[in-house]
Every structure is written in structure tokens, then in C-alpha cells.
Amino acid sequence: MNRRSDFPILNQKVHGKPLVYFDNAATTQKPRLVLDAMNQYYEHTNANVHRGVHALAEAATEAYEQAHRTVAKFISAPGMESIIFTRGTTESLNLLSYSLRDRLKKGDEIVLTRLEHHSNLIPWQQAAKATGATLKFLELTPTGELDISALDKVITDKTKIVTTTHVSNVLGTVVPVKQIADRAHQIGATMIVDAAQSVPHLPISVKKLGADFLAFSGHKMYGPTGIGVLFGTKDALTALLPFLFGGEMVHEVSYETSTWNRLPWKFEAGTPPIAEGVGLAAAIEYLAKLGMDKIAQHEHKITKACYDSLKTMDKITVLGPEERGSLVSFTVDGAHAHDVAALCDQVGVAVRAGHHCAMPLHLHLGIPASTRASFGVYSQETELPVLYDALEKAVRLFS
């Protein structure tokens, strides 16, 4: 698979070297057809949705609703009513952490994992503070996998919410979501999945995962920024209170009280990200056409090649388990992640350095920061040696 030419931005030099974009876990680049779809929308269709009876309003509404259907089909959700557009994973998870608070009381427990991104940790810290609930964590094994043997001990009758990342954005760990969901459902808890790092890289079925809610971001899957998704089962969404109030999300309004619109609009107050929805749908059609199985295979191959090579390099420590999502994080002895990333940048390789919005996980691992190479549909094995050369230089300079 070589999709480089689909992405205009990749055709450039950085510091005089061809751009090697290995920062896909932070955000992906956009294929020409996503840019075109959004332009097309603005040039021919733009109007507010669900409001007008004029031709443009109807066309815009149809395009926006169709985008919900496209997302639903992509993750094997029943239909449009199970798909809420938000601003991103972070907003989706915040929505849940507010709207689920009415089910939490003192002594209840929210179960997370040690892997969580700040956006699936801090909202629950806040919910716990507000309600008197407590946070509990599923621990990691020494190799960075989730210690599933403790599942029944950690998830108990007191657990009301279980929330986990599907793929860790630092260690690459693939979490056995289904097994956790089964346990959560056994005791009647709500199961939430942060799929920001899985939906762009793996075939996803919300049914197979057993998720009551699932969140992800458009910009990490070749779509635009400013749009994300919250999937919820019909039962879960019906029982959930709205989070944002205003136009669009209401059915009947008097000065005293209001009733809520039907799903999914009950959760989409105000003018939504319409062009972004159109762009996201175009990105999904692009991915579906390439085939998520094929994409997963392609990325698995390059990830494995990178993992295997870095494992053999002196002074480099790879973080996380061998079986992993499309990313490899590592540390270089004696070198700070920032300096490693700066040396990579010098030869045109974009990688991420820092704690990747997972500060507690880095503290837990006992490292101040790490460097991460993350892959996408356009990544090529032939690009890897440029990274290796930069890392050898980092070892030479700093170790």
C-alpha cells in the first residue's frame, strides 16, 4: 500500500529533506478528497441544518445526516440515531463525565486503566470529586499489558462506570475491551471506550467490543479537526441526560420548560460542525475503500519492522508490549526525548516527544518523557532507515 500521493501536504521538504511524517497518533494528514469534499460543501451546499425549508438548507441537512449514517456503518452501529457529533474525543468523554454524574453517589466506583490519556482521566477525576465516587485502576503487567487477572477484583458491585482506552497512545497496548465489557455488564456497569487510537487503524465493531459508549476524533483518521464522535447504544443514549442545551436539541420549548429532540439531536445543541461532518464522512469513505483490514495489515507490518529494529539497537529502550497498535514509543539512554525529536526533525522526520498527554503513565513507568513514532496509511517501510539514522546520531551525541 502506498497512498502518499493522495496527501498533498506530504509532497514537501523539511530542512531540505523529504518529509517523513511519523506523528500520526497526534494527528493525521488529510487526503485531497477530504479537502475537496469540504470545499465542495462550502462552494455549493452551505446552509444551516435542520432549520430552513429552502433548497440549500435541505441539501446541507441531508449531507450532515448522511455523514452520521456513514459513521454508523463504519463502526457497525445500528444507525444515525446512535452517532453524536462532538468536537473530538475529549469533548465526547467530557459529555459522558457530566451526563453520567446523576448515577454516581458516594462510595460508587469508576474503574479506569493506568494507560489513560488525560482526556479519559481528568473528566473522571472531576466527576469523582463532584459526586464522592472513587477512582480505581486496572494495573499493568511488567510488559505493559493490562493485568486482566485482577478484573473481577477491581470491577465489583460498587462499580458504576468502566472506561478504558482501546489502544494506548503511549505503549501501543491493545486492551481486551470485550472481556472488560463482559465483566462490566455482568455487574450492571456502563462500559465506555476511548477509541481515538483504534478507529483510525483497525476494523471496529461497537457490537463486537460490547461498548455502551465509544469516543473518537475525526482529525486522527484523516478527517478535519473540530469534529469527533460519541457512539452510544440506543438504551444508553435514551437514559442519558443532555450535556449542552440550546437550539436544535429541543423538541418543545416554553418559557418554563422544554422537552428533548429525538436521538441523536438531543445531544447536538447549537449549529454543529457541518462541513467537518462532510469532511469526516469523506475520510471514512476513503478508509472504507482502502479496507480497514488492509490498512491494519499494512500498518502492522511497518510497526513490527520498527519495533524489531529498535529492539536490537544499543541504548534504546522500547516501551510496551510486542503486540501493539500502529506506534512505537522509546527512550534513548542519556538523551532527553526533546533532543531526540529535534535530531529526527533535522532529517525531516516528524515524531512526538514528551509525555503524550499521559503524565501519570510516564510517572508510573519512571521516565520523564518518551519519543514516539506513529504510523498511518501513507507510512512506508522505506522511510524507517531515516529514523534509525537519526536515532544512531542521538546515541552517538548523548550516550
Partner 1 sequence: MTDELYKEVILDHYKHPHNKGKLENATVKQTEQNPICGDVVTIYLNIADNVITDISFNGCGCAISTAAASLLTDHLKGKTIEEAQNLSRDDMVSLLTVSISPARTKCAMLALVAVKNGTAGLR
Ligand X SMILES: Cc1ncc(COP(=O)(O)O)c(C=O)c1O
What positions carry a catalytic annotation? Answer: 357
Site for partner 1 in 340-359 (CB under 8 A): 342-343, 345-346, 353-355, 359
Q: Which helix (H) or strand (E) holds 181?
A: helix 177-186
In the list partner 1, ligand X, none, the entry touching 194 (Cβ below 5 to 8 angstroms by class) is ligand X
Q: Is 324 in the site for ligand X (CB under 6 A)?
A: no
Short-list 374, 250, 240, CA closest to 307:
374
Site for ligand X in 250-269 (CB under 6 A): none
- Count residues near partner 1 (CB under 8 A): 20
Q: Tell me which of 81, 194, 248, 299 binds ligand X, using CB under 6 A.
A: 194
Q: Is 368 in the site for partner 1 (CB under 8 A)?
A: yes
Q: Is 298 in the site for ligand X (CB under 6 A)?
A: no
Q: Is 217 in the site for ligand X (CB under 6 A)?
A: yes
Site for ligand X in 47-86 (CB under 6 A): none
In the list ligand X, partner 1, none, the entry touching 119 (Cβ below 5 to 8 angstroms by class) is ligand X
d(CA 253, CA 117): 38
Kindly indicate which of the ranges 39-47, 101-109, 193-201, 240-248 contains the residues binding ligand X, using the contact rule CB under 6 A: 193-201
Short-list 100, 135, 133, 111, CA closest to 183:
111
**Rounded to 5°, angle at Cα 340 from 335 and 345:** 165
d(CA 162, CA 135): 10
3-class state of residue 187 by DSSP:
coil
Nearest distance from residue 88's CB to ligand X, in Å? Answer: 3
Strands 159-165 and 190-194, how do they pair? parallel
Cα–chain center distance at 93 = 11
| 336-368 exposure pattern, b = at least 16 Cβ within 10 A, e = fewer | bbebbbebbbebbbbbbbbbbbbeebbeebeee
| Cβ pair 237, 211 in contact under 8 A | no
Site for ligand X in 128-187 (CB under 6 A): 165, 169
Q: CB 239: neighbour CB atoms within 10 A?
A: 15
Nearest distance from residue 146's CB to ligand X, in Å? Answer: 14
Q: Is 242 in the site for ligand X (CB under 6 A)?
A: no
Nearest distance from residue 158's CB to ligand X, in Å? Answer: 26
In the list ligand X, partner 1, none, the entry touching 368 (Cβ below 5 to 8 angstroms by class) is partner 1
Short-list 156, 149, 148, 165, CA closest to 184:
156
Nearest distance from residue 20's CB to partner 1, in Å? Answer: 15
Residues 346, 351, 355, 361, CA torsion sign: negative
3-class state of residue 137 by DSSP:
strand
In the list ligand X, partner 1, none, the entry touching 384 (Cβ below 5 to 8 angstroms by class) is none
| Nearest residue (CB) to ligand X, 98 versus 398 | 98
Tell me, residue by residue from 109 to 138, as one string, x for binding to ligand X by CB under 6 A and - for no binding: --------x-xx------------------
Interface ranges with partner 1 (CB under 8 A) = 15, 334-339, 342-343, 345-346, 353-355, 359, 362, 368-369, 397-398
Interface ranges with ligand X (CB under 6 A) = 25, 88-90, 117, 119-120, 165, 169, 194, 196-197, 217, 357
